[in-house]
Amino acid sequence: MSYNILSQELLQDNAYLYRHCQPGVLDWKHRLPNLLSEIRQHSADILCLQEVQQDHYEDQIKPALQALGYQCEYKKRTGKKPDGCAVAFNSSRLSLLSSNPVEYFRPGDALLDRDNVGLVVLLRPNDAAGRSDPSAFICVANTHLLYNPRRGDIKLAQLAILFAEINRLSRLPDGSANPVVLCGDFNSTPWSPLYSFLTTGCLDYRGLQIGAVSGQENKGQRLLTSPIWPHSLGIDQRCQYTDKPTESSPSSPTELITPSSLPGGRRRGGLHLLGRLSLVGQSELEDVGGLPNHCHSSDHLPLLARFRLWH
């Protein structure tokens, strides 16, 4: 389950966005029980939450999730931002191998000067603990990318850092990789270039305007140039950490490739999609006053999918 639960401080800082809401709907005392009720109803084994306000997480959300049988990991945004990303998992079915916070902020780098973060956890199914293969695990990544519709270059650079971390953590000594589940709020529209990059593993950004990357609006007319991020970041266009140029670089200097799409990549085990939760339509949301409303207490909808894991 991936769910942006709407930080209360961010809601209050952007109150103009919620003028359509009825009185009381936006109160945290009303919102928290609704959010927890949704989580309890869906009973997902893994939760990836965004916009989790730190004080609410420590005092209310984490204890409530623990009471439901979840173990929780959290990464607050850098700087003075009030919220962050959380990953919670059903401790009766999964065990934590490692929790790895990811910060996108790089001091002195004008491209990576934002406080967005990610969190990558490695989980082992409890039924695999006694098996002969101790390397069987699932890599779960959660992030919340920059919102700014005009800065697609920053979003792609943030993704590159996250992909490099996922590749580092999911790779095994023999070169194979364990299954990866990537969740988050990517601040992009369906079928945008950023979405295509996530789903196909490739993006040729030649002639692409930075404002068109996420599909949110058509401003920001400067073209993306190669390389998008500085070499000092230590990440190549295959979104992998590198100490020196490699022989298997993309064929085009304006092509990005995710590690999972590289030729010859091998996976240890896998995930088979069994189903997903359908989303309600725009007209249905308008009938209940939009989001948030009396029953649904975020301005986002939760995304849920069910997988079968084999290893």
State residue 251's pLDDT score: 55
99, amino acid identity = S
Quote the pLDDT of residue 270.
83
Instruction: Give per-residue pLDDT as tens, 263-272.
Output: 545 566 689 9
Task: Render pLDDT for 68-93 as a digit per residue (tens, 0 to 9).
Answer: 999 999 999 999 999 999 999 999 99
Cβ–Cβ under 8 Å, residues 98 and 122:
yes
The pLDDT value recorded for residue 139 is 96
Q: What span, in angstroms and rounded, lies between the C-alpha atoms of 237 and 249?
A: 7
pLDDT of residue 247: 47
Q: Rounded CA gap, 159 and 145, in Å?
A: 8
Distances (CA, A) of 115 to 58, 167, 172, 177: 20, 22, 30, 29
> Distance (Å, rounded) from C-alpha 21 to C-alpha 194?
31
pLDDT of the residue at 223: 94
**This prediction's pTM:** 0.94
> pLDDT tens digits for 153-197?
999 999 999 999 999 999 888 888 889 999 999 999 999 999 999
In sequence order, the 6+-apart residues with CB closer than 8 A to the CB of 251 are: none
Give the CA angle between residues 236, 104, 199 to the nearest 5°. 60
**10-residue mean pLDDT series, the chain (311 residues):** 99 96 95 98 98 99 99 98 99 98 96 98 84 76 97 97 96 86 97 95 95 85 93 95 64 82 59 95 92 97 95 69
What span, in angstroms and rounded, lies between the C-alpha atoms of 17 and 3?
Answer: 19
